[in-house]
Structures are given as structure tokens and as C-alpha cells.
Amino acid sequence: MSPWYMENGSKLLEGLIASSNGEYDVPYRVFTIEELDKATNLDRCRVMADGTGHYISGTFLQRSILVKKFWFGARGDRGPSYAVNDIVVALQMNRHKNVLKVLGCCLDLKMPAIIYEPGINYRLLSDILFTRKEGNFQNDIRSLCWSNRLKIATDVANALAYLHTAFPTPVIHRDLSTQNIVIDNYGVAKLVDFSLCIAMPPGESEKEEDIIVGTTGHIEPEYDCRGIVTEKCDVYMFGMILLELLTGRKPFDIDLEPNSLVEYVKEHVDKELSKILDPTILVQRGEIELDHHQLLAFSELALRCTHHKGADRPDVMDVAKELRRIQRSSRPR
């Protein structure tokens, strides 16, 4: 047994018990290095990578799996603690359909690994939106039709609402981005990477942190200035994802005028909505006559979520309800 496991294995169990209010009942398997190497053919089937590690497809006991191996040094000196945090929260989120289901973990490494199921045909949303390869372009066009984007947004909102409400105190993700969302072969969005999650203190609505973490361009302005974490931090980051789904652009795009995505959408949403849409949306066969009211409602919700002041943003439960309402409002073609 490695020194890493001896030091962090107990932290993992303690974290699971604490996060479940003393009643931990989520089974998981601890994989050995030998099992992992055999299952993944020594890392030869890498399928994608996010900000903290790479994902490898494999087979274990005739079941498809997806393995995330954390990069050594990811998140700096706190990397091992963040990795344990990811495993703890991911296991507690196992019941939700919009989170990758965790089979177990491997701790007998310099940095741990998480094993998910099933592990076939997953792609990061960021790869689909921003790094479309020529060979996959037609598939990406189909997967990025407007109805699918709306479904992706609703899926992620549902997972986020669960994260905020299903635990003894709200758990804040702190790193929502298109790089932490995977899309499966059926177009279902699943939230991943809970390494930066923190729980609110009992009875409190905010928590002060000594370091600012998150993905550049998605970090809430108030949190960035004051280091105060609230539920509205996640709402802001989710709003940025909505804007990316709407426009196909990143938060800071040198081709935009102004170059802030929030300001860009705000400036054009009322009079030139079609101008800010991702062109891929406009070329959808069968969706040429897009529902303007639906697009406008989606845009306005994204802007409410990214309001500069957290107090003026909706709660995530209200965001999820509004997205479901927008979905139902779609007129039959």
C-alpha cells in the first residue's frame, strides 16, 4: 500500500461520511494499479482531457469504463486534497442521471484515478463547441442543433440544482465550464470534476476563501474581488456556459466588440439576436425558422445569471425551472 493511500485513504472515507451527514452508504471499489493498467491497456486509449487530468477508455470485467487520471501537480500543492474532494463529491452525486456514474477509484498512485461507467463515446462540451476537427464536423453540426443545446443546458442545471440542495448544506462547484461537461452518445450532458467543490458552513450563505480558483473567464466578479463564495458564484459560471452555447464563443474573444462575451450579448440581444448566434445553429435543417421567443428567453436568462451583482441573479432552482419552461414553449414544427 502506497504512502499516498495511507495518508489520503482515510481522508476519503472521512469525507464521504461527513458529506452524507454521517450516513455514508454509496458503495465503491478500490482498484489496484495492475487492474487499471490491464483495463486501459496501459493508457493507450486516451479520449479527452480537462483542466485536471486525462480520460482513458477501457474494459473491466467485460464492462466499458472511463478512467480519469489526475495530472501530477494539477492544482499545485493542494492537488491531492482536491483529487480526494473530487472522488468524495462524485460518489455522493452518483444517484443523479446528469453526473458520470463512479465505479470506484485507484489511490495507489502519485495522483489518484477515478473509474466511471460506462466509458464509451464521451466528448467534452468544450471540444464539441470550440475545437471541431474536420473529420467530426458534420457530427458536431448535428449534435449542436438548438434543441440539443437547450437540452444540454437543462441537464447541467438539474445536476447543479441537486448539488446545491441534496446535501446537509449547499455544495458549491466553483469551476463550472464547458471543459467540465461531457456529452454521451445519446446527447445527455453529465457534470464532472468536483475537485474544487466546497460546502457552505451550517446556517451560513457565504464562505471566505484564501485563494481564488476556477476557470478564467467564468469566475464571478464579486468572488474574484473579495474571495467570498456563495451559491450565486455557480449561477454566474452557469450563465457563462449558457452564453457559450448561444454564441459558440469563449468568454473573452478578441474578435468581439466589446470583447467581453456578457457585454457583447447584452449589446446585441434586443435588436440583432441572429447576429450573435453560433452560425451552426442557423444552418440546422428543419430548424431554419427558429423560435425567436425561445431564443430571446434563453438569452435573457443567461444575462440574468451573469448579472454583476450576485443578489440580482436567480437561484439555481429557478434557473432550472425556467429552462424547462423554455423547452416546453417550443412550437411544433
Catalytic residues, which ones? 175
Tell me the three-class secondary structure of 84-130, residue by residue: HHHHHHHHHCCCCCCECEEEEEECCCCCCEEEEECCCCCEEHHHHHH
Residue 236's φ and ψ, nearest 5 degrees, are -60, -50
Residues 6+ apart with CB under 8 A from 237: 173, 174, 175, 176, 177, 214, 215, 218, 219, 220
Nearest alpha-carbon partner for 285 in 187, 189, 151, 146: 146
C-alpha dihedral sign at 333, 143, 159, 102: positive
**Which amino acid type is present at position 250?**
K
The Cα 322–Cα 205 span in angstroms is: 23
Q: From CA 206, how far away is CA 201, in angstroms rounded? A: 8
Amino acid at 328: R
CA–CA separation, 126 and 62 (whole Å): 30
For cell 485507484, the residue is 106
Amino acid at position 60, single letter: F
Which secondary-structure segment (H or E) carries 229?
Answer: strand 228-229
Rg value, the chain, Cα: 20
